[in-house]
Amino acid sequence: MKYELVIFDCDGTLLDSERLTNRIIAEMLTEIGIPTTTQKSYELFAGKKFADIVAHIQDKSEAYDADFELEFRKRSKIVFQNELSTVEGIPELLSQIQIPMCIASNGPQEKMVVSLNAANIKSYFPDNNVFSAYDIKIWKPAPDLFLYAAEKMKTPPSNCIIIEDTISGVMGGINAGIDVLAYNPHNDAAMLETPAKNFTSIKSLMKYILPFVC
C-alpha cells in the first residue's frame, strides 16, 4: 500500500541526540551524588519523559532541586548548538519522501526547535507539523500522541507509518494501531520482539520504505 503520512520520532531517530542528552543527564546525576554513566542513563531514560528522570532522582537521593530541569535544558541547548547532527542517512531519506511528514516526540516543543535548527533539517518540518507529548500531557508508550498527530495532519491512522528508535515509541505506535518501523542500530532485544520491522541503519530502512512513500 501507499502511505499518506510519515510520522517521525525526533531524538535518536532524526537526530543523533540521545548520546548527547544522556551524557548530560549522566553528568548532572553524578554531580548530585548519583553516579551514572552515559550508557546507564540511556538504558534508564531513552524515550522516556523528564518526569521519569525526576522520579529516579527522588528515589535515589534527597538532592533533587526544582532547577534541575532548567539547568538540563540550558546545558542541552549549548551542547546541541555545538555538537548535534542528524542520524546518518536522515537527510537523504527526508529529501526523497514525497508525502507529508511530521514529528511526534516525547520532548518539549522548545527543545525540538533548537535541535532541528541546529541539525539543519527544520525546513522539512514546519511548526504545525511538529507535535509534542507536552501539548497533550500524555506520553509514549500511550497511543494518544500518534493519534493526535494523525488527526492534526488530517490522515487516517491506517494510512500512516511511524519511524521510531525506542521501545516506548514503538509500543506507542503499535498501541495506536499504526504501522511502525524500528530504527534499531544496537539490536535492542525488546524492539526485536515487537511486530515492528527492525532496521540497523537508516540506509536499509530507506530501501524498504521509499516504494511506499514516493
Question: Cα dihedral angle (75, 76, 82, 85), rounded to 10 degrees?
Answer: 170
Do both 79 and 111 map to the same domain? no
Q: Nearest CA to 110 among 144, 70, 65, 82?
A: 70
Q: Which residue in 9, 11, 165, 179 is the catalytic one?
A: 9
Question: Considering the entire predicted model, what is its pTM?
Answer: 0.86
Do both 195 and 89 map to the same domain? yes
What is the count of structural domains for the chain? 2
- Please name the amino acid found at residue 20: L
Q: Phi/psi at 23 (nearest 5 deg)?
A: -65, -45
Q: What is the CATH number of the domain that holds 99?
A: 3.40.50.1000
**Whole-number pLDDT of residue 65:** 81
Mean pLDDT (whole number) for 10-14: 95
Do both 79 and 155 map to the same domain? no
Do both 118 and 25 map to the same domain? no
Q: What is the CATH number of the domain that holds 57?
A: 1.10.150
pLDDT in tens, 109-157: 998 999 999 999 999 999 999 999 999 999 999 999 999 999 999 999 9
pLDDT band at 17; cut points 50, 70, 90: confident
pLDDT in tens, 170-182: 999 999 999 999 9
Active site residue 9: yes
Do both 125 and 198 map to the same domain? yes
Distance CA 169, CA 122 (A): 21
Cβ-contact 3, 160 below 8 angstroms: yes
**Whole-number pLDDT of residue 61:** 85
Do both 160 and 197 map to the same domain? yes
Beta-bridged to residue 11, according to DSSP, are 15
Q: Which domain holds residue 72?
A: 18-83
Do both 142 and 116 map to the same domain? yes
Do both 76 and 93 map to the same domain? no
Residue 78 is placed in which grid cell? 549549548
Whether the predicted pLDDT of 29 surpasses 90: yes
Do both 11 and 29 map to the same domain? no
Beta-bridged to residue 15, according to DSSP, are 11, 86
Domain boundary (83, 116, 140) is at 83
Domain boundary (83, 107, 125) is at 83
Do both 92 and 72 map to the same domain? no
